[in-house]
Amino acid sequence: MVELAESRFIKLQEELPRLFNRWIEKKSANPRWVMVIDLTRCVGCYSCQASCKMENGVPYEYFRTHVEVIERGTYPNVRRVFLPRLCNHCDNPSCVPVCPVGATYKREDGIVVVDYERCIGCGYCVQACPYGARYSNPETGTVDKCDYCLHKLSDGEVPACVSNCMGGARIFGDVNDPESPVSKVLSSKAVATLKPETGNDPRVYYVGLEEATKIGPGEAIVINPKVGGVIRT
């Protein structure tokens, strides 16, 4: 039984990029890449976190994407909510205008990228990002962050975190294509973005975000692999 499930899962994993490839061929001329994370489907398995690290060679203790765990309530009425985080590829990003050398910019297709050849590693963009989405990579001397696995995307594949998401919580695609999976989710479900008050116009959407962010004092504890330890609200 387990073997059967495993083999089906592996098949699905192999099939996904091919399906995406076929869909990408029909994609609109001007793609606009967007991610939706359905928190009601996230099981907190950390596959996205681990696969991203492997795919992009992210050093130990650093993350391009990570999963925060929010434990709510008091025993016996407790509940865990998982909040996967990554760069929001904001439409009005704080990280872009502050870069002294123009090494970080937003592409036409909506992806905010870093030019690793030009970046001097000053860290200003890391400080400016209100989402803590960037880190200074000690191995390369530049900053780094999620780029939706640009190398995979140009090969017609989805980002590693999407293809490895066992709960199907990460949905990725071209928002300009009404047939794309993201467009369908965006038109059928209520979505929200993280900290909209920053004015950054984040472009990673969440389904069921309220439960993860509307927490009063003393109502929950947070476990974040980037911070370490357990933080009480």
Binding residues for ligand SF4, per CB under 6 A?
Answer: 87-90, 93-95, 98-101, 103-104, 112, 114, 119-125, 129, 131, 133-134, 142-143, 145, 200
CB count, 10 Å around CB of 227? 12
CA–CA distance, 24 with 173 (Å, rounded to integer):
9
Structure-token pair, residue 139: 């191995």
Q: What are the residues whose beta carbons fall under 8 Å from the beta carbon of 168, sequence distance 6 or more?
A: 38, 41
**Site size with other proteins, rule: CB under 8 A:** 50
Picked from ligand SF4, other proteins, none, the partner binding residue 90 (CB below 5 to 8 A depending on kind) is ligand SF4
Closest contact distance (angstroms) between CB of 233 and other proteins is 5
CA–CA distance, 85 with 89 (Å, rounded to integer):
12
Picked from other proteins, ligand SF4, none, the partner binding residue 194 (CB below 5 to 8 A depending on kind) is other proteins
Closest contact distance (angstroms) between CB of 58 and ligand SF4 is 15
Task: Find out whether the peptide bond into 76 is cis, omega within 30 degrees of 0.
Answer: yes
Q: Which is nearer to other proteins, 22 or 80 (CB)?
A: 80
Q: Which is nearer to ligand SF4, 18 or 118 (CB)?
A: 118
Helices (H), the chain: 2-25, 47-56, 95-98, 124-128, 150-153, 160-163, 181-188, 210-213
Among candidates 44, 66, 35, which has minimal Cα distance to 53?
Answer: 66
CA–CA distance, 120 with 143 (Å, rounded to integer):
9
162 is a contact residue toward other proteins (CB under 8 A): no
Provide the mask over 66-105, with x wherever binding to other proteins is found by CB under 8 A and - wherever it is not.
--x-x------------x----------x--xxxxxxx--
Q: Which residues of the chain form contacts with other proteins (CB under 8 A)?
A: 61-63, 68, 70, 83, 94, 97-103, 118-124, 126-130, 132, 135-138, 140-143, 194-195, 198, 212-213, 215, 217, 220, 222, 224, 226-228, 231, 233
